[in-house]
Amino acid sequence: MHNTTIAFIGAGNMARSLISGLISDGFPAQQLWASDPDENKRSALATDFGIHTTNNNDQAVAAADTLVLAVKPQMLHEVAQTLAPALSNGNTLVISVAAGIRSDTLAQWLGANTPIVRTMPNTPALIQCGATALFATKQVSSTQRDTAESIMRSAGLTVWLDDEGQMDAITALSGSGPAYFFLFMEAIEAAGKELGLPDDAARLLTLQTAFGAAKMALESSNDPALLRQHVTSPGGTTEQALQVMEQAGLREIVNKALQAAANRAAELGSELAGKTE
């Protein structure tokens, strides 16, 4: 991994998060590049991490054997067109963090022999607590897979997919997932206030309870259903609350919500591909 040179096209929050994670993992700063038209973003990365920066994508690509596309999906086609000539030899690994852009679309833009890893990170990656799914095209070697995994793992947990078609489900579950938990925390905090708790107490107790529950689930060998049962005494307060949620159809609501998100992810992927064909 430390033998590779990595260039980021785009120096926004996701690129910054990955760069920070790589530096924290001991990756050499002199083997990192970031290209962006925004001088302030480039200056901040150079000052904070000591990496190479440029406003010239060609310079970054020439220096690297691994390329991370960290631009907005709507901009990616234009950027890819300018990068394609430099990637024609098929030796440079391309990792995309652009939501909705499928690997076959990227291959059309960059060249059919380009090794491509498509990823779907989520916003907690910005604090190195992310969950990222990865899919590799057949052109990606085992060494390149390891490189892609190491880069994305610097921002949190990683999971490989064998079927790219599952990426829409990943988008619905972990990509959009933080918003679901934020909504639930928002509702619990508001309910706590309705019960008479001070605003600051309702907020802090909600956040710590959410954090503690997630940490318990991560560190336990038991699944969430069993953990739930362990804190639900028959005839107790927790049981009463959970019965209300079940009767209101919480599980069906969650299922319908994720299905709607997955459907929209598929639609957006088709739209982004169709606009540039």
Q: For 129-169, write each residue's pLDDT tens digit.
A: 999 999 999 999 999 999 999 999 999 999 999 999 999 99
Say what the pLDDT of residue 168 is. 94
What distance in Å separates the CA atoms of residue 251 and residue 257, rounded to the nearest whole number? 10
Say what the pLDDT of residue 24 is. 93
Say what the pLDDT of residue 275 is. 55
- Mean pLDDT in residue range 105-115: 93
**What percent of the chain stands above pLDDT 90?**
89
pLDDT digits (tens, 9 = 90+) for 4-36: 999 999 999 999 999 999 999 999 999 999 999
Say what the pLDDT of residue 119 is. 96
Comparison of pLDDT for 267 and 193, the residue scoring more: 193
Highest mean pLDDT among 76-90, 96-110, 202-216: 202-216
Please report, for the chain, the start and end positions of each structural domain, with discontinuous segments joined by +. 6-164, 175-262
What distance in Å separates the CA atoms of residue 209 and residue 215, rounded to the nearest whole number? 10
6-164: CATH topology is Rossmann fold (3.40.50)
| Rg for the chain, CA atoms, rounded | 21
Whole-number average pLDDT of the chain: 94
Which of 202, 196, 230 has the alpha carbon at shortest distance from 216? 230
Instruction: Give the three-state DSSP class for 193.
Output: helix
The CATH class for the domain spanning 175-262 reads mainly alpha
DSSP 96: E
Which of 48, 174, 172 has the alpha carbon at shortest distance from 123? 174
Q: With the C-alpha atoms ordered 15, 17, 19, 25, is the resulting torsion angle positive or negative?
A: negative
Domains 6-164 and 175-262 share a fold: no
